[in-house]
Amino acid sequence: MAEQLPLSIRLRDHATFENFLIAENPQLVSTLQAAAVPNEEDTTPLYLWGVVGSGKTHLMQAACHRAAAGEGGAVYLPLREFETFTPALLEGMESLALVCLDDIEAIAGQQAWEEALFHLYNRMQSSGAQLVVSANTAPQGLRLSLPDLITRLGWGLVFQLNELNDALKMEALQARAQAIGMILSDEVARYLFSRTRRDMHSLFSLLEALDHATLVAQRRLTIPFLKEFLAQGVSS
């Protein structure tokens, strides 16, 4: 590759298929799981879209975790951070088995990036590599200045990631808490939900902060502790 990936880009350890609550997205998850296993006979590009916090990043990183265990290599690139590197980073990525590009709406209007992604798409189709991209809208809703790129992105399989309802979000949050050794009671979970942002990214980030805080304080996660924690503005 012409340019090395920034060292700051790391896959989250907990971003696995096993840690994702499938709920109303079974076909999407099964398709992405299959895409994580290189198969040159079927490398149809995948396009995932949904609101912030719906799980796009988690699933893409889960695919990279699984693909990295095989042959060919995989890379996850958050395009919302495009200003920290250059379009030259995309050169040579077609040699990898799996390439996941997150938040492509971030490069809308960036001509050099749009052209680089357009050429990468074509090279990956020729090389038989698997491309997965995500955005906050369907392909036709992207404000890209390169019409041919919008067309290409709509050629593959397009999936809308359905957001979890509050009950399923609570179930996912409690499952994550259990996985990291925390006890998150229904009562504490309901209190937390009534006073914080409810997208899964914010909820999981808050849970990690609470895990650290309870360990430092050597206290259980109770409503009184949560009140103190939130009063300190840690969740903002």
Q: Using an 8 Å Cβ cutoff, are 101 and 134 in contact?
A: yes
Token pair belonging to 135 = 């955005």
pLDDT band at 8 (very low <50, low <70, confident <90, very high): very low
More confident residue, 26 or 198: 26
- Could you tell me if 153 and 133 are in contact, meaning their C-beta atoms sit under 8 angstroms apart? yes
Residue 51 has pLDDT above 80, yes or no: yes
Range 153-175 average pLDDT: 85
Residue 57 has pLDDT above 70, yes or no: yes
Scanning the chain, the segments in alpha helix (DSSP H) are: 26-35, 56-68, 111-127, 147-153, 166-179, 186-193, 200-217, 223-231
pLDDT digits (tens, 9 = 90+) for 69-91: 777 789 999 999 999 889 999 99
- Residue range 9-32: mean pLDDT, rounded: 78
pLDDT above 70: residue 9:
no
Reply yes or no on whether the pLDDT at 5 is more than 70.
no
**Overall average pLDDT of the 111-128 stretch:** 94
How much is the average pLDDT of 44-70? 88
Query: Cα(first)–Cα(last) distance of the chain, in Å?
Result: 39
pLDDT exceeds cutoff 60 at 223: yes
